[in-house]
């Protein structure tokens, strides 16, 4: 661990470092030039990912961000509409890429689910033949959504609506592994109805780099060109793809442990003064008294526990591969101490 790293880092599941076994797999990876589609390890990862997600093909990308943006770029033409939740990562946390790169018009909704309500869909689809109106092209969903697992009914309903009206559905499944684990369904089932699916290897799975976009063969062929347009063609990428392959083999099953640990941490924190906490898959969302979240984060940091204030009264903690069972009790005790110090 680097000298300046917090002892218990709960900021994100992107903080994991490759395990010694993963590093060995990476060091020994067979490689080639992936821009020429000659890297056997990347090929193996893409085929494995597609198979897991029940899609025809997949493309390895440097990031989930890029996979999402490629999906939007391919699904809609300049000036067309993307429909997504106002908190969707693809809209708010990717540098406005859907507007900057694809020049799409975002139409947003709010609510507890990543999928829009039927009434919203029915209203928005009206008048699309009006000459003034931008044309809808893509509905983007997310699972897990802000850590929360989304029931599949919404996705099925949106997919049926999209098919009926000739729209595409993208699923930002950066944490689809967590969603499928929590729902107790296969990844293919969790991806059903989506034309394109992003998955990310460098979050809960603990690989150092990379994501994938899965879809039908023709879309993935076009996605390969779009990735090149964005400068995302990689050469001997098998080195990093091997980490992702290793993660699929060894770190998928253990995600249920992260969820159980998040649950235990939430229970411990709910007993702390001024806090209430809820576990959402691998995340713990703790509510503080108004305006106290940044102070709690600072006080926890002084105790060697790193977490993030996502609102003035909300702290987020994420459990991941580098958080051991013993860290949970320790984090609970230290954050409780931090909460007590704010009361003193
Ligand atoms: C839901 C979701 N989608 C996409 C991304 C983008 O991932 P990355 O920044 O690794 O490309 C993130 C990152 O945290 C995310 O949470």
Go through the domains of the chain in sequence order and give each one's CATH number: 8-14+254-343 (3.90.1150.10), 31-250 (3.40.640.10)
Nearest to 104 by CA among 168, 21, 36, 178: 168
Q: Looking at residue 118, what is its pLDDT? A: 98
Query: If 0-12 CB within 10 Å is exposed, 13-18 middle and 19+ buried, where does residue 144 land?
Result: buried
Query: Which residues lie across from 140 on neighbouring strands?
Result: 84, 170
pLDDT at 316: 98
pLDDT digits (tens, 9 = 90+) for 206-253: 999 999 999 999 999 999 999 999 999 999 999 999 999 999 999 999
pLDDT in tens, 72-105: 999 999 999 999 999 999 999 999 999 999 999 9
Report which DSSP code applies to 15. G
Ligand 1 neighbourhood includes 85 CB (under 6 angstroms):
no
Ligand 1 pocket test target in 68, 91, 194, 200 with most atoms within 8 Å of CB: 200
- Nearest-atom number in ligand 1 for the CA of 62 is 11
Any atom of ligand 1 within 6 Å of the Cβ of 102: no
What Å distances lie between residue 182 and 81, 82, 280, 303, CA to CA? 32, 28, 9, 31
CA dist 47 and 40 (Å) reads: 10
């Amino acid at each position: 661990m680097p000298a300046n790293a917090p002892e218990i880092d709960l900021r994100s599941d992107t903080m994991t470092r490759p395990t010694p076994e993963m590093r060995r797999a990476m060091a020994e990876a067979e490689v080639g030039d992936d821009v020429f589609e000659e890297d056997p390890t990347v090929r193996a990862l893409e085929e494995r990912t597609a198979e897991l997600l029940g899609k025809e093909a997949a493309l390895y990308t440097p990031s989930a961000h890029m996979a999402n943006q490629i999906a939007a770029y391919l699904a809609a033409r300049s000036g067309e509409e993307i429909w997504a939740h106002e908190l969707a990562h693809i809209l708010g946390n990717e540098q406005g890429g859907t507007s900057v790169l694809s020049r799409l018009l975002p139409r947003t909704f709010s609510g507890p689910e990543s999928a829009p309500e039927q009434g919203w869909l029915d209203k928005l689809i009206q008048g699309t033949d009006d000459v003034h109106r931008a044309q809808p092209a893509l509905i983007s969903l997310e699972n897990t959504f802000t850590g929360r697992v989304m029931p599949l009914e919404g996705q099925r309903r949106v997919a049926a609506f999209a098919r009926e009206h000739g729209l595409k559905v993208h699923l930002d499944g950066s944490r689809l592994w967590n969603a499928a684990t929590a729902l107790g369904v296969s990844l293919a089932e969790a991806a059903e109805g989506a034309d394109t699916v992003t998955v990310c290897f460098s979050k809960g799975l603990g690989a150092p780099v990379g994501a994938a976009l899965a879809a039908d063969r023709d879309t993935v062929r076009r996605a390969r060109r779009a990735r090149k347009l964005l400068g995302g063609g990689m050469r001997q990428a098998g080195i990093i793809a091997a980490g992702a392959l290793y993660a699929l083999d060894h770190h998928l099953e253990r995600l249920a442990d992260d969820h159980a640990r998040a649950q235990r941490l939430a229970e411990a924190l709910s007993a702390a003064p001024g806090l209430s906490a809820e576990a959402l898959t691998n995340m713990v969302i703790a509510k503080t008294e108004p305006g106290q979240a940044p102070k709690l984060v600072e006080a926890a940091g002084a105790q060697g526990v790193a977490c993030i204030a996502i609102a003035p009264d909300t702290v987020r903690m994420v459990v991941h591969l580098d958080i051991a069972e013993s860290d949970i009790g320790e984090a609970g005790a230290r954050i409780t101490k931090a909460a007590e110090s704010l009361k003193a």
